[in-house]
Amino acid sequence: MKLSGHLILPILIGALAGTLFSCHTEDVGSIYASYTNTMVRTFAFSSDINVLPNLPYRYFTIDLVEGRIFNPDSFPYGTDISALVPDITFSSPSSVEITVRDKSDTSKVLKTIDYLENDNDSIDFNNDVRMRVVASDGITAQNYQIEVRVHQVQADSLVWTTLGTHSLPTTLAAPLYQKTVSFRNKIYCFTADAENYNIGTAETPTTAWTTGTFTPCNDTMSIASITASADSLYALCGQPDDAGNMTLAVSSDGITWTARTDIKFSALIGMWENTLVGLTCTDGEYRHASYSEGAFAAGEPIEAAFPVSGYSAVVARQDTSYGTSQIYFFGGCTADSSFSSRIWAYDGEHWAAITDVGITGGTGAAITPREGALFFSYYQDEYDPAEDLFHRKVYYYIIGGRDATGPRNDLYYTNTIGGYWERAAQGTPLSLTSAGFTPRAFASVLVETETNATTISSEWRMLDVPDYFRAVRSENKTVPYIYVFGGYDRQNALLDEISRGVIRRFTF
């Protein structure tokens, strides 16, 4: 910096003197304009590993027209900016004065620095910092305001926005049941009350919904059982028989349903590739069951610990090591009415409990046995200090559900689905609060990738979420949003809402 501030000045003065004796008047004017320049060429900070890795390489914008210097990508939450040493280069100043004023009372000067003489002085950038650069002519000057932006909230926090009250896409005045699935590149939201059935469809959760009614097979349908494959929708319809089995119904559009009276399931779990898997009950014994290409098969009896109801949604995963596809679900209620805290996996042939989340044995944070939990794959960005980069990885989340105490809003996560789980403790970035996310059970969850240019329909009302960042992703950058539909609260009432969640870091 001192090379720029101290050595260039005599060089330019010498050049000016030579020019006065050898050049025409217009040439003198051209050099004079350069010689009086007040430009700030570069702005950075000296290295300080205790503040941030690679601090000297954090990008700053220099707005010469408005006289502003700032970092468009804010520093991480909690960064200490109280003693930073700026490293600035100029064209040819005669003086550079930095003034630090009290941010709450800018008439109060806390510190004044002659930067050309004391370029190693640290500055508290929590205050109002201004810089005056005077050109070599001693007259021409430019004032700059220097702002060091720091995120005011945890970048890794998971925040929720309710899109509106009574926002489930339905014509029913008081729906009692809800199930939402992704099917054929659309969102299908099914609702029902004691007698009527409704369907809402949309391209994405935030676009305009089309709603209508439909008539189920055999007069009744279990809305909670609705499951989507690549080309069909399945549900259980009619009244349960003495063993608790119901008839399988099939639809290609969610409106017209056909009953397969020869096929009986007691529960539908989900899809493994193109095969529908669930349970059937024969002679008082629950068995694994499947339906594929029109054929139904009842398999082996279930283990005593295998749930018979209350499953989470299934999560699909392709095992790249062995090339096999697997599905997983969490929790549920067993035949003896006990809640489960296990994750069960299916590989197309066998079911197995791959972990007891929270039970001793190195599986991590304890989670109470429960039913109706949200279970889905999402993402987190892991920081690599050596590269000063964030790498996005797939994580698995468990949120809420109902345990012996009622609906919960706790959150657990892992990047190894059969391994160590962590609980987001209260006050940590991923923790949930009742103010932000109502405790619930048996909600539907979808993860939709959007851009900041995504248009939200005028039918939806976005509530205020405080303190979003000034620097956000450009319109062509994708952001994964979590959409939670409905669910039952502590009074066992259906929440007539859609909640929208996102990790803040993904939005900037």
The per-residue pLDDT for 127 is 96
Tell me whether residue 153 is in a domain: no
427 plus 461 within the same structural domain: yes
Tell me whether residue 195 is in a domain: yes
427 plus 497 within the same structural domain: yes
181 plus 119 within the same structural domain: no
pLDDT classification of 76: cutoffs 50, 70, 90: confident
- For the four alpha carbons of 18, 20, 26 and 31, in that order, the dihedral sign comes to positive
> Which residues have a Cβ under 8 Å from the Cβ of 171 and sit 6 or more positions away?
198, 211, 212, 213
| CATH code of the domain in which 103 resides | 2.60.40.2340
Share of the chain residues as helix, strand and coil, in percent rounded to the nearest 5: 10, 45, 45
Instruction: Give φ, ψ of 249 to 5 degrees.
Output: -115, 145
332 plus 471 within the same structural domain: yes
pLDDT classification of 33: cutoffs 50, 70, 90: very low
182 plus 248 within the same structural domain: yes
113 plus 233 within the same structural domain: no
Comparison of pLDDT for 473 and 237, the residue scoring more: 237
Least confident segment among 22-36, 177-191, 220-234: 22-36
389 plus 282 within the same structural domain: yes
41-73 confidence digits (pLDDT tens): 999 999 998 998 889 988 999 999 899 999 988
102 plus 168 within the same structural domain: no
pLDDT classification of 383: cutoffs 50, 70, 90: confident
Q: Which domain holds residue 114?
A: 2-147
Structure tokens at 282: 């024969």
123 plus 204 within the same structural domain: no
| CATH code of the domain in which 452 resides | 2.120.10.80
Provide the number of structural domains found in the chain: 2
360 plus 498 within the same structural domain: yes
Average pLDDT over residues 98-102: 97
85 plus 200 within the same structural domain: no
Q: What is the CA radius of gyration of the chain?
A: 31
425 plus 502 within the same structural domain: yes
Q: Closest by alpha carbon to 105, among 83, 137, 128, 121?
A: 128
